[in-house]
Every structure is written in structure tokens, then in C-alpha cells.
Amino acid sequence: MERINKPDLSVARKRSKSEVDTINYHKNQSIKNLGVGKKYLIQTHGCQANEADTEVIQGLLEEQGFVKTKIIEEADLVLINTCAIRENAENKVFGELGRLKSFKKINPNMIIVVSGCMPQEEEVVERIMKKYKHVDLIFGTHNINRFIEYLDYVMKERKPLIEVYSKEGDIVEDLPQLRENRFKAWVNIMFGCDEFCTYCIVPYTRGKERSRRKEYIIKEVENLIKRGYKEITLLGQNVNSYGLDFTDEVYQFSDLLEDLGKLPIERIRFTTSHPKDFNDKVIDCIAKYPNIMPYIHLPVQSGSDSVLKKMNRKYTKAQYLDLVDRIYAKVPNVSLTTDIIVGFPTETKEDFEETLDLVKKAKFEGAYTFIYSPRKGTPAAKYENDVTPEEAKRRLYILNDLVNEGYLRGNKRFEGKTVKVLVEGYSKTNKDVLSGYTENNKLVNFNGPDSLIGKIVEVKVVKSKTWSLDGEIVKKEAE
Ligand code: SAM
Ligand code: SF4
């Protein structure tokens, strides 16, 4: 019998007051060696939360003996970890699923899996069931820990399985992970989102906000330090509301930064920050601990108060700029970047001018800019969209020109200075050149021996460009 459990957005929208438990992952001992002699390929779309999920999925597969491949023709299992944030992200996935059909014709035993945010949407699951019948397994964001059980069923029964939970479950600790990077690691500190920005699908696809207990986070970071990791990035949709869901203790994001800042990890970053919960205690931590990096991604979305209100962002332009001023005052060397949406319903030319004005005043050194994309099930999808696609594009180009000036200005200020670079490997465009990121998250290319890969070195910046810096090695290893 086919197993089908489809998502329901009306259930996903609800927020229960019930406490979230933490449980430990235990491998199902009756399922062993599912992947011996088999290869897998994973395609990851979207944000860092998906990248971190992919590392768990890889860990689960390798525990069963699967081996990773980059060659689709030799893959026995292909998994697409999907993103639902904008329509074009979804279209890319449907395009990929279409392409996979021909590979499955050549290799009918190939198992095709769709996971991540898209399966949490009712219509996506319907569409896959109707038009992409070559997909074997669909599961969502709330039941990754059960992936191997589902895979076992699909491989043994040779029948499709759809298992999507609309409501988040407990926090599952101790899941196996195969990390992509040997020096930098993602560390989830919380899951889900309770903000309900009116344009955003994330609160529906990722469930209610729930914070991981500090003991587990600290243990994970200590293990990473033992394994030689140099940098961690703390992940959450709104890291500044970390811990606000605890009912039995007062332990917030600034407390976590205090505890992690004292550990011997060279670099701590975090993303994403919601401006409304970013308090002075967090700014003080960044100023106080040299291992908390002077780089903050602080999505603003718009500079217009009326648009911000319709987006349900819960701050005004003046409040945002006041926060920015407080950050610059205490962390003068900081680099700020942001996210901005143009063409949100009702955004007038004057509203857009307010956004441009804010971008200038906040002195951003980079931004991800997007044209608003209606997402079914969100409140904004029902708003009348009176900004034409041509006008939205025009605004995006104007904004991007201004943002690019910020990238260049942010890079130029390091010209002639010596910066610390965590060397990640060779430059993507030149295999003889090393590259890595500075404390302010600037990409630097320079010549040096490959023995420096994985180390933090001092580099003198000799030239700045819009997207990167050129440097010369000063000291082989920074203290
Ligand atoms: N939680 C983060 C925050 O509050 O900014 C990031 C969420 S989302 C993964 C990343 C960015 O996608 C958002 O900051 C927003 O700018 C953009 N985004 C979200 N929904 C969108 C939509 N419907 N259309 C266009 N851009 C969107
Ligand atoms: Fe989406 Fe807003 Fe939550 Fe960010 S804070 S994930 S933009 S709802």
C-alpha cells in the first residue's frame, strides 16, 4: 500500500503554547547497510538552514554505507533539498525534477527524493504527484530524523512514500552530520520562526520558533574546536529571539554569546538578525569578545514606514537607523549588510526613495536584493499588487547600483591595511591563488603555499575591487 501523508498549511499556521521537548536520536538498529555499494548525490537550494539540513541528511546516508558522488549518471539516489522562499527558487526545482526523468529512464532503480521547504506546501505536493511521478520519496523539514526509515520502505516495497508533517515536533539532538567544510561550521541554535512577516513562507514551512538548549550548543561547539574548526556560524531565522521560548530559565542570545565568546574558537558569526529583537546586550558582546566577528547581516526589507507596517516588520525606519547608530558607536569597525525587497504591494515611488535614503544612511557594505514574489498562503499574497513587473525591475536596478557602491566602499576602507584571513582553499577563478574571508567577511585573494589552507593568516590588502580584495601575505599565521 502507498503511504501518503500530505501537508496542511492551516495546521502549519497555528502556534501551540505547548513546551517543545528535546529528544536524542537513536539509530534504528533493524535498518543496516541500506547503501552499501551505492552512491548518492544531493542538490541543496536556499538558505543556510537548508545547507545545515543537508549535512544531517548526508550523515544519515553515510551511516548506511552510501558514498557521495558528483556525477549524476552514477548516482543510485538523488535528493533535492528545496527552497520555497520565492517563485523562481521553486521553478528551478521543478526544472531539475523534469531533467531527472530522463536519468531515471536510463536507470529505473534510481531513487529520487524531494525534501526541505517545498514539500511543506500543499500545492507543491499535488503537482509532484500529478506531473513528476518518477519521484519516489517526499518528506519535509520536520521529520529529517526519520528519513532512513522512509528510504528503507521505498527501497524494499518499491512504492512511493509521501510523509510531510505540518506541525513541528521535538528538537532532535545527536543526529549524525557530514559537514561540507573542514574549517567553518554551521551551528543551529534554534528552529522555525514566529515573526509572520506578511510576505514570507518560512513560518509555515519551518514551524514554530524553538530554541536548542545551551548545553547541546556548547557541547557541539566544544567538539568542533577539538576537531580543529576555526569558525562557527550560529543559525536561526531570528537569532535575536533565541531563548525567548524557554519557560523554565532566562537564557537569551546575549547569554549564549557570552558563553561561546569565552570558548577557544577563533571566529563566531551569526545569522539572521531581526532588528526588532537586536538589543544593546548583543552589541556589547560583539564589542567585548574579539572572537565575535565585526560583521552583522541585518535585514531591513524596506525604508518606508508604511511598507514596513504592511510587511509586519514591527520597527520603523527611524528605529532601524537608531539601532545602526548604536552598533556603529560601540563596534566602529563593523561591516553591515542587509536584505531588501522591492515592489512589495502598494510600494510607491516615494516609499522606494525612502529605501534608497536608508541604504545611504545605514552605510551598508552589501545587500541581497529581491523583487517581491507572492507566496500562496501568506497574508501579502491576498494584497493587490499594483507595482508592475517592469517598475519593480527598474527599482531593483537602481537599488543594486547603490548597493554595489557600498560593496566597493566597504572593500576600499581596507586598502593598505593588514587583515586576518581564514584561508579556505584556492580561488574559484584561479587555481594558483589562495582565497579566504576576513573578520569583516570580505573575500581576499593572495599568493601563498597550500600549507596555509585552514589557517588564519595576516594579509596586506594591496587592491580593492567591488567583490573582492587582492592581498599579499604578511605573516604565515596570526596569533
Ligand atoms: N529570517 C531572515 C530575516 O528575517 O530576514 C531571512 C529570511 S529569508 C530566508 C531571506 C530573505 O528572503 C528575507 O530577508 C527577504 O528579504 C527575502 N524574502 C522572503 N520572502 C520573500 C518574498 N515572498 N519575496 C521576495 N523576497 C522574499
Ligand atoms: Fe521570514 Fe520574517 Fe521569519 Fe525572516 S523573520 S524568516 S523574513 S517571517
Candidates 358, 348, 257; CA nearest to 303 is 358
- Cα(85) to ligand 1 centroid in Å equals 7
> Whole-angstrom Cα distance, residue 68 to residue 100?
18
Sign of the dihedral through C-alpha 344, 349, 354, 355 = positive
Tell me: pLDDT of 13 over 90: no
- For range 295-324, the mean pLDDT: 98
> Whole-angstrom Cα distance, residue 375 to residue 348?
21
Cell 500529478, located at residue: 130
Q: In which band, very low, low, confident or very high, does the pLDDT at 7 lie, cut at 50, 70 and 90? A: confident
- Cα(82) to ligand 1 centroid in Å equals 15
Q: Output the ligand 1 site: residues, CB below 6 A.
A: 47, 85-86, 199-200, 202, 237-238, 272, 274, 299, 301, 339, 341, 370, 372-373, 375
DSSP string, 14-74: ----PPPPEEE----TT---TTTT-EEEEEE-SSHHHHHHHHHHHHHHHHTT-EE-S-GGG
Residues 299, 355 contacting (CB under 8 angstroms): no
What average pLDDT does the chain have? 95
Question: How confident is the model at residue 133, as a pLDDT?
Answer: 94
Q: In which band, very low, low, confident or very high, does the pLDDT at 478 lie, cut at 50, 70 and 90? A: low
- Cα(201) to ligand 2 centroid in Å equals 8
**What are the residue ranges of helices labelled H in 251-348?**
253-261, 280-288, 305-311, 317-330
| Single-letter amino acid, residue 424 | E
What is the per-residue pLDDT across 72-124, written as a single tens digit (0 to 9) for each? Answer: 999 999 999 999 999 999 999 999 999 999 999 999 999 999 999 999 999 99
Index of the ligand 1 atom closest to the CA of residue 274: 4
Closest Cα to atom 22, ligand 1: which residue?
Answer: 373
Is the Cβ atom of 197 under 6 angstroms away from ligand 2?
Answer: yes
What is the per-residue pLDDT across 320-342, written as a single tens digit (0 to 9) for each? Answer: 999 999 999 999 999 999 999 99
* Number of residues assigned to the chain: 479
Index of the ligand 2 atom closest to the CA of residue 237: 6
Among 50, 86, 193, which residue has the most ligand 2 atoms within 8 Å of its CB, making it the best to mutate?
Answer: 193
Is the Cβ atom of 238 under 6 angstroms away from ligand 2?
Answer: yes
Q: Which ligand is nearest to the CA of 47?
A: 1
Among 339, 340, 364, 399, which residue has the most ligand 1 atoms within 8 Å of its CB, making it the best to mutate?
Answer: 339
- Cα(274) to ligand 2 centroid in Å equals 8
Closest Cα to atom 4, ligand 2: which residue?
Answer: 237
What is the per-residue pLDDT across 53-69, written as a single tens digit (0 to 9) for each? Answer: 999 999 999 999 999 99
Distance of CA 152 to the CA centre of its chain: 29
What is the per-residue pLDDT across 354-399, written as a single tens digit (0 to 9) for each? Answer: 999 999 999 999 999 999 999 999 999 999 989 999 999 999 999 9
- Cα(452) to ligand 2 centroid in Å equals 38
Q: Which ligand is nearest to the CA of 193?
A: 2
Closest Cα to atom 5, ligand 2: which residue?
Answer: 195
| Single-letter amino acid, residue 326 | R
What is the per-residue pLDDT across 124-158, written as a single tens digit (0 to 9) for each? Answer: 999 999 999 999 999 999 999 999 999 999 999 99
Residues 266, 229 contacting (CB under 8 angstroms): no
Q: In which band, very low, low, confident or very high, does the pLDDT at 2 lie, cut at 50, 70 and 90? A: low
- Cα(197) to ligand 2 centroid in Å equals 6
Q: Helix (H) and strand (E) counts for the chain?
A: 13, 22
Residues 301, 341 contacting (CB under 8 angstroms): yes
The CB density around residue 396, as the number of other CB atoms within 10 Å, is 18
Question: How confident is the model at residue 20, as a pLDDT?
Answer: 87
Candidates 101, 94, 153, 105; CA nearest to 128 is 94
- Cα(202) to ligand 2 centroid in Å equals 6
Q: In which band, very low, low, confident or very high, does the pLDDT at 232 lie, cut at 50, 70 and 90? A: very high
- Cα(274) to ligand 1 centroid in Å equals 11
**What are the residue ranges of helices labelled H in 76-138?**
87-106, 122-131
